[in-house]
Chain A
């Protein structure tokens, strides 16, 4: 009998940190002690605390180990797996007294999350469909096909209050209804897995940790909207997610959850992967569709919307990975259950990727309405090195920075928008007092300028001009007029651009101007950088790590 499972996190973060060598060392050590018949090793998807990798979870004891190296393995096996004593050296510690955390439940990083989308991630082997089935996988698809009409499925999604997790927050049920009613056949559905924001890795983790959940969500959506073919558009930079999706798709076909006559209800559905080359603009839906068609990824004016004229001129519905991933659990547990999480306007949970100057870098899931402070300090563990929090950038290059005085804002689509930022897909980059806000604006704008597809001039030329002004300010050559010119350009690019890339590119500049205008002015008037980042202005001591 297997008495214990040792789960090795196989998310991309832990793999880069060397978890596979740890896994091999564990396998060898278990063999050496003849424990293979008692203890099972499982490679799972991302557990979340990426910065602590490689991480392990030992069950049923529920003991979490961090930063495990192959050299630690013999002692860990001897202490914990043979003698039953948690191996102190590798347990997480937290709090001012550096308390040792002996069970994962007590670790506030886990304890304060609500994991719905990530319920299986880090718990099951993503390359084994049976483990997904054991966790109620594909029962939602079965329920939809055997007990519900397509209209009922759409009603359920509408009642759940689910909104698009790609960033804009459009009600998913409504989107599905429009698509279902759209004339024309065949109909296509698309999973947008072209996650491109710097510092965002939510979708990658879902695909790597629980790929079947996305396939099941898409199959349910296809049934509801009358589509027979689905595409997953994923970037080539995500090789592990691609590999696990390929395995998952093969297994789903073998078990009859994809293909012909699913659940013997006469419903056919096929899913294909489309690998993108990593252009940021291809996350925009019209550019994404052109890329799937094999054309150059450039956006088109809307309307017509994809539901009217999408892929190859046919009705098409595009949802983000996380949106699809929420669908099975809504059908399985009901709209009412799902809507019990979150706030009045925004139901459910959201996965965020924490990055930057934060202690617990990684992946967290919380209900909407959780405040920024709870996410960054209670779960994220705050700022390392005794530094002061300065701002958080939400929504990547399309979003904006939010300063300290708004830390108690509950996170929702509307509240973030009011602050000049956006929810985006869920990236959160935390900045401490050593960060120069002009430099941050320059960084994100450089990204957008680089990624502009060049189709419309406001974006192509405007972002370039904005970048030149910002570089000038950072180089000690700015004038006060530059700040006014920058603001004017922001408005032109925002109003005049064709697609979301250009329309949102000025957000980092606008929000830093709104909340940290004095930093710009100090750069221009006093020719110095308050944070000591901007290279040519080094009148304040610079830390050696921050060479720019």
Chain B
């Protein structure tokens, strides 16, 4: 029984993504202007950093244009059922910083935030 529990903990990861129950949702704006501005590199850096830090309560989605062409790449971090924070003008390095500060430690990277936080729906 103990072995089964251990095994379950180990394999839970494989399908966790299909079950939801996450803490953070990361939305990366991946319209044409986002891609041109380097949104894919930003996303790759974030995915890499999330994996390195072993964050299993984060889901990453790509979305269409947010409508802020001149401040791309834009990433929105939504605490599920809580606040939405929007970061802009990112590069891979800043993206890694956000993963560590915001997603791991729960501290917003204030100098990269644009606009006011919104309530998640």
Are B17 and A263 touching (Cβ within 8 A)?
Answer: no
Residues from 37 to 81 in B contacting A, C-beta threshold 8 Å: 40, 43-44, 47-48, 50-51, 59-64
| Contact A134–B61 (Cβ < 8 Å) | no
- Residue from A1, A81, A84, A138 in contact with B64 in the complex, judged by beta carbons closer than 8 Å: A84
The answer on a CB contact under 8 Å between A83 and B14 is: no
Decide yes or no: A84 and B30 within 8 Å by CB, A3-B47, A133-B4 being known contacts.
Answer: yes
Q: How far is the CA of A374 from the CA of B30 in the complex (A)?
A: 41
* B4 x A138 contact (CB < 8 A): yes
Complex CA–CA separation, A138 to B22 (angstroms): 25
Cβ contact within 8 Å between A133 and B8? yes
B12→A1 contact, CB < 8 A: no
- Across the two chains, which residue of chain B brings its CB closest to A85? B64
Complex Cα distance, B18 from A7, in Å, reads 9
Interface size, B (range): 20 to 34
Interface presence of B110 (CB below 8 A): no
Those of B1-35 within 8 Å (CB) of chain A: 1, 4, 7-8, 11-18, 20, 22, 25, 28-32, 35
Contact A83 B30 (CB under 8 A): yes
**Chain A positions 1 through 28: 1 when the CB is less than 8 Å from some CB of chain B, otherwise 0:** 1111101000000000000000000000
Given the complex, which residues of B lie within 8 Å of A133, measured CB to CB?
4, 7-8, 11
Q: How far is the CA of A133 from the CA of B22 in the complex (A)?
A: 20
Q: How far is the CA of A146 from the CA of B31 in the complex (A)?
A: 54
- Whether B15 contacts A139 by the Cβ 8 Å rule is no
Complex Cα distance, B14 from A7, in Å, reads 13
Q: A146 to B1, Cβ gap below 8 A?
A: yes
Residues in chain A near residue B11, CB distance under 8 A: 130-131, 133-134
Q: Which residues of B contact A83 (CB under 8 A)?
A: 30-32, 35, 62, 64
Q: A134-B11, A138-B4 are in contact. Are A3 and B60 (CB under 8 A)?
A: yes
> A84 contacts which of B20, B25, B44, B63 (Cβ < 8 Å)?
B63
State in angstroms the CA–CA spacing of A178 and B110 once bound together. 69
Interchain CB contact under 8 A, B62 and A82? yes
Q: How far is the CA of A81 from the CA of B11 in the complex (A)?
A: 25
Contact of B18 among A123, A139, A142 (CB under 8 A): A123
Q: Which residues in B have their C-beta under 8 angstroms from that of A61?
A: 61
Instruction: Report the Cα distance A83→B61, complex, angstroms.
Output: 10
**CA distance in complex: A146, B4 (Å):** 12
Taking a contact as CB atoms closer than 8 A, the residue among A37, A60, A130 that contacts B17 in the complex is A60
Does A38 sit within 8 A of B, measured CB to CB?
Answer: yes
Q: Which residues of B have CB within 8 Å of A81?
A: 62
8 A Cβ contacts from A117-143 to B: 123-124, 130-131, 133-136, 138-139, 142
Task: Answer whether residue A277 sits at the interface, using C-beta atoms and an 8 A cutoff.
Answer: no
Judging by beta carbons under 8 Å apart, are A142 and B15 in contact? no
Contact B1 A263 (CB under 8 A): yes
Residue A59 is within 8 A (CB to CB) of chain B in the complex = yes
One of B13, B15, B32 near A124 (C-beta < 8 A): B15
Contact B35 A4 (CB under 8 A): no
A4 touches B17 (CB 8 A): yes
Q: Which residues of A contact B62 (CB under 8 A)?
A: 3, 81-84
**Complex Cα distance A87/B35, Å?**
18
A1 touches B18 (CB 8 A): no
B48 touches A1 (CB 8 A): yes
Neighbouring B residues of A82 by C-beta, 8 Å: 30, 35, 40, 62
- Chain A residues within 8 Å of B1, by CB: 142, 146, 263
Instruction: State the A residues within 8 Å of B (CB).
Output: 1-5, 7, 37-38, 59-61, 81-85, 123-124, 130-131, 133-136, 138-139, 142, 146, 255, 263
Can you list 11 A-B contacts with CB-CB less than 8 angstroms, sorted by A residue number?
A5-B17, A7-B18, A59-B17, A59-B18, A60-B17, A60-B22, A60-B25, A133-B4, A134-B12, A142-B1, A146-B1
